[in-house]
């Protein structure tokens, strides 16, 4: 796909009433009336919208119906519309947003980001990471022992490994009373999962309309707050420790602020990297050799269990002594980080490709247009599922511009990728990468494994990720101690 086909514009329409409805007996009547209002109002708005002078192609149809797939199958929505319209840029309209004046006065509060960054740094600083590494590796070992009690077995990475990442993340951001109790971990994650599932296209496009997902989300939010509050109050009356709750309590935060500190979400990259390594034996061998060499340098005794030896390795070694594994993680991110980034133009009318992005508009950028483009070459370790012609090149990240340097004779292309500058260190991302390294290290140093299908046979081909949903794949891992 041409690299210029990478922007979509959202212009925000006037506001809709967003009142919560609590009387369940009135749900049906309200829903019917709401849908009628949506239909009539959308028709009215669509028929009265004045075409702007930006020169950017506008998708037709009723705004909510047009935008629906943007919230359900975003990758397909963006790329199919670029192909159908034949335009470098296109725009569509959906819902509302604060005027820039309102946004700057009420929504954007720098002190809130300062508060957030400060406490994220407290939870993920080097000293605390060093202290928790042995516990995280114990979690990995315990999870694998439960999943595969014998010397061999089969696991589903998108179930077993995903559950493992949840366990490790909850340990890092809560307290031992929760993370050491599998039932408490399961209960806590159930609440988060319900809240996430409540973000349906209908809830986003018609937020005032009561739906089962919306009601379940509200109930789960309340239940999660009460669940965490109980453990936070217990920690207030206990001896201080290095647990996340204790760290935040020591900063004088109240219960509501601690609950609001949030959870760092590690993506499904831990699952995909195990699949990609199994499919590329040469890189699996390089990563395994690195891990064994690191063990020899920092934990040479073979008498201790593997997870204890890995737990004795200092944080600095995890960060600097695994360059091949680091490349594998970066390549996995290239193949899985195909979502859409949004940024609002808050300055002034912006010329783009001979057209105008107006002040206040949102720009949508599909990272997959670069990451999965066979015409753009990266420092590749795996062959892309979408192209077998991937070759080695250079990838440089400078501030907010990704510059992919192609072979000689081709012009350099620049792509807007990030809204933050390259000097910003994303501490939760560093922890997520540490999680991936520890999981891969225990897998590669402790097991032999290969890809199999549901019948236990070698797959005929690698799965092609669904760019709209990377959490489902039909491959399993056959494990042997």
For residue range 129-160, what is the model confidence (pLDDT) as tens digits?
999 999 999 999 999 998 888 788 888 888 88
pLDDT value, residue 218: 93
25 in a structural domain: yes
pLDDT at 80 over 80: yes
Mean pLDDT of all residues in 270-278: 90
* End-to-end Cα separation, the chain, in angstroms: 44
Taking the C-alpha atoms of residue 266 and residue 449, their distance in angstroms, rounded to an integer, is: 23
pLDDT at 73 over 70: yes
Mean pLDDT of all residues in 311-318: 96
188 in a structural domain: no
463 in a structural domain: no
Alpha helix positions (H), 337-470:
368-371, 427-446
Residues 6+ apart with CB under 8 A from 452: 154, 458, 459, 475, 476, 477, 478
72 in a structural domain: yes
Structure tokens, 467: 């760019």
Count the domains in the chain.
1
173 in a structural domain: no
Mean pLDDT of all residues in 274-282: 91
Are 74 and 42 in contact, with CB atoms under 8 Å apart? no
pLDDT at 370 over 60: yes
Per-residue CA distances from 270 to 163, 212, 273, 432, 434 (Å): 11, 32, 6, 9, 10
- Which of 102-111, 158-167, 220-229, 255-264 ranks highest by mean pLDDT? 220-229
pLDDT at 7 over 60: no
Are 459 and 453 in contact, with CB atoms under 8 Å apart? yes
Full residue range of the structural domain in which residue 20 is found: 1-96
Note if the pTM is more than 0.75.
no
Taking the C-alpha atoms of residue 362 and residue 6, their distance in angstroms, rounded to an integer, is: 13
3-class state of residue 446 by DSSP: helix
pLDDT value, residue 266: 55
191 vs 45: which has the higher pLDDT: 191
412 in a structural domain: no
pLDDT value, residue 412: 32
Question: In terms of C-beta distances under 8 Å and separation of at least 24 residues, what long-range contacts does 466-473 make, across chains too?
Answer: 467/75, 467/76, 467/338, 467/368, 467/372, 468/72, 468/73, 468/74, 468/75, 468/76, 470/267, 470/268, 470/272, 470/336, 471/158, 471/162, 471/268, 472/158, 473/158, 473/271, 473/275
* Phi, psi (degrees; rounded to nearest 5) at 240: -60, 150
Burial of residue 370 (CB within 10 Å: 0-12, 13-18, 19+) is: buried
Taking only the tens place, the pLDDT of each residue in 115-126 is 667 777 788 888
16 in a structural domain: yes
Bridge partners of 405?
394
pLDDT at 173 over 80: yes
Taking the C-alpha atoms of residue 200 and residue 52, their distance in angstroms, rounded to an integer, is: 30
pLDDT value, residue 245: 92
145 vs 67: which has the higher pLDDT: 145
pLDDT value, residue 111: 54
301 vs 98: which has the higher pLDDT: 301
pLDDT value, residue 474: 56
Give the confidence band of 354 by pLDDT, cuts at 50, 70, 90. confident
15 in a structural domain: yes
Give the confidence band of 399 by pLDDT, cuts at 50, 70, 90. very low
pLDDT at 417 over 50: no
Instruction: Please state, for a pLDDT cut of 70, what percent of the chain lies above it.
Output: 67
Per-residue CA distances from 319 to 266, 363, 397, 438 (Å): 17, 35, 19, 11
Nearest to 291 by CA among 441, 138, 446: 441
pLDDT value, residue 441: 97
pLDDT at 51 over 80: no
């Amino acid at each position: 796909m041409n690299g210029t086909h990478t922007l979509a514009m959202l212009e925000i329409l006037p506001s809709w009433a967003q009142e919560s409805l609590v009387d369940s007996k009135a749900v049906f009547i309200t829903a019917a009336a709401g849908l009628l209002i949506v239909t009539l109002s959308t028709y009215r708005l669509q028929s009265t919208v004045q075409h702007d002078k930006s020169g950017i192609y506008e998708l037709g149809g009723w705004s909510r119906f047009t935008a629906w797939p943007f919230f359900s199958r975003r990758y397909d929505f963006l790329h199919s519309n670029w192909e159908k319209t034949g335009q470098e840029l296109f725009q569509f309209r959906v819902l509302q947003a604060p005027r820039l004046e309102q946004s700057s006065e009420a929504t954007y509060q720098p002190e809130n980001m300062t508060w957030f960054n400060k406490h994220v740094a407290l939870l993920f600083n080097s000293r605390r990471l060093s202290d928790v590494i042995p516990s995280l590796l114990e979690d990995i070992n315990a999870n694998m022992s439960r999943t595969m009690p014998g010397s061999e077995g089969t696991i589903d990475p998108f179930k077993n490994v995903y559950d493992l990442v949840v366990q490790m993340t909850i340990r890092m951001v809560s307290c031992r009373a929760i993370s050491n109790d599998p039932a408490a971990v399961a209960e806590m994650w159930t609440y988060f999962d319900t809240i996430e599932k409540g973000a349906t296209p209908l809830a986003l496009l018609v937020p005032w309309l009561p739906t089962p997902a919306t009601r379940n989300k509200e109930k789960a939010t309340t239940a999660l707050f009460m669940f965490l509050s109980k453990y936070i109050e217990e920690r207030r009356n206990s001896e201080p420790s290095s647990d996340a709750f204790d760290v935040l309590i020591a900063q004088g935060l109240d219960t509501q602020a601690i609950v609001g500190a949030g959870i760092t979400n590690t993506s499904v990259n831990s699952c995909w990297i195990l699949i990609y390594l199994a499919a590329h034996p040469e890189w699996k061998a390089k990563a395994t050799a690195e891990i064994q060499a690191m063990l020899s340098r920092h934990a040479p005794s073979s008498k201790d269990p593997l997870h204890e030896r890995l737990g004795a390795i200092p944080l600095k070694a995890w960060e600097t002594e695994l360059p091949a594994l680091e490349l594998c993680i970066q390549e996995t991110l290239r193949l899985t980080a195909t979502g859409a980034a949004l940024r609002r133009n808050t300055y002034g009318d912006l010329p783009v490709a001979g057209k105008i992005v107006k002040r206040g508009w949102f720009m949508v950028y599909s990272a997959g247009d670069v990451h999965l483009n066979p015409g753009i070459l990266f420092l590749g370790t795996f062959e892309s599922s979408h192209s077998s012609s991937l070759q080695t090149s250079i990838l440089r990240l400078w501030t907010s511009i990704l510059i992919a340097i192609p072979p000689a004779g081709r012009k350099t292309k620049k792509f807007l990728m990030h809204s933050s500058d390259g000097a910003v260190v994303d501490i939760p991302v560093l922890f997520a990468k540490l999680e991936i390294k520890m999981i891969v290290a225990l897998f590669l140093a402790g097991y032999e494994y290969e890809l199999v299908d549901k019948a236990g046979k070698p797959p005929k081909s690698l799965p092609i990720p669904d760019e709209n949903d990377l959490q489902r794949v039909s491959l399993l891992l056959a494990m042997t101690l």
